[in-house]
């Protein structure tokens, strides 16, 4: 088996959602002074590759610590959407994949936007699902939707319609994924465990795919 790391590294340089403060790292304990190293990390709960809980948007929504661990892993597939140049992911862009979506727990949308990570363009004009497309996906028994963008909604929204569609159905949202081009066009195992924080509205995750070695042998 081979793993593919789908998470960005969190550092003081990590791009953050507009209006959010970047991570702060200090080292109050050092090997020289205390005999061990320990860092103090200050960051918002939706920093880097992270997961959104229903409580992120919904007053009565469930927090991440209330979900069982099996909700954070399962079968996944990636849909290649890098050809989209009109800023919207329509239902017709997805409908051909219905037989595949019925077999999986997590759907990952590959737009190629993660290649803009660290630039101003990462926050501009990225493709988002239309409300109709989001409602269609919410009709499947999915555990989560993953994207390689800063958000499933535009950054200038104040209503977060796409978040609401998924989170009202307790479909978790994973944002800021990376390396989606390294994934195969077949079903693979996906893991995205958040920190177990009380009342967590969100959490950074270490998202990864587990892929059979036979795929890579076949590609050689």
Residue 106 lies in a domain: yes
Residue 85 structure tokens: 């140049």
Residue 16 lies in a domain: no
| Residue 34 counted as domain residue | no
Instruction: Report if residue 202 sits inside a domain.
Output: yes
pTM: 0.94
Where would I find the beta strands (DSSP E) of the chain?
A: 2-5, 24-29, 38-42, 50-52, 73-80, 88-89, 106-110, 128-129, 144-147, 172-175, 188-194, 202-211
What pLDDT is attached to residue 1? 83
CATH of the domain at 169: 3.50.30.50
Q: What six digits make up the tokens of 36?
A: 């061990």
Q: Indicate whether 28 belongs to any domain.
A: no
- Condensed to tens digits (0 to 9), the pLDDT of residues 80-122 reads 999 987 789 999 999 999 999 999 999 999 999 999 999 999 9
CB 50 within 8 A of CB 177: no
The whole-number pLDDT of residue 214 equals: 54
Structural domain includes residue 72:
yes
Q: Is residue 160 part of a domain?
A: yes
Within-domain flag for 55: yes
**Hey, what are 151's tokens?**
């958000």
- pLDDT value at position 216? 40
Query: Containing domain of residue 95, as a range?
Result: 2-9+45-219
Report residue 21 as tokens.
Answer: 């403060």
Q: What is the pLDDT of residue 218?
A: 46
What's the total number of domains in the chain?
1
pLDDT in tens, 34-79: 999 999 999 999 999 999 999 999 999 999 999 999 999 999 999 9
Note whether 209 and 73 are within 8 A (CB): no
């Amino acid at each position: 088996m081979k793993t593919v790391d789908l998470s960005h590294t969190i550092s003081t340089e990590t791009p953050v959602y507009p209006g959010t403060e970047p991570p702060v790292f200090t080292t109050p304990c050092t090997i020289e002074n205390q005999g061990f190293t320990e860092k103090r990390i200050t960051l918002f709960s939706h920093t880097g590759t992270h997961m959104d809980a229903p409580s992120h948007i919904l007053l009565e929504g469930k927090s991440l610590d209330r979900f069982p661990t099996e909700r954070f892993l399962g079968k996944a597939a990636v849909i290649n959407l890098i050809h989209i140049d009109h800023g919207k992911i329509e239902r017709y862009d997805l409908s051909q994949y219905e037989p595949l979506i019925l077999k999986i727990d997590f759907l990952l949308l590959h737009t190629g936007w993660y290649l803009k990570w660290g630039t101003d363009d990462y926050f501009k004009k990225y493709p988002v699902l239309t409300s109709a497309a989001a409602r269609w996906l919410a009709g499947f028994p999915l555990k989560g939707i993953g994207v390689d963008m800063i958000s499933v909604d535009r950054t200038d929204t104040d209503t977060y319609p796409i978040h609401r569609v998924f989170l009202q159905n307790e479909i978790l949202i994973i944002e800021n994924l990376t390396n989606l081009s390294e994934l195969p066009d077949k079903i693979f195992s996906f893991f995205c465990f958040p920190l177990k924080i009380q009342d967590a509205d969100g959490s950074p995750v270490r998202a990864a795919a587990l892929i059979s070695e036979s795929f890579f042998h076949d590609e050689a």
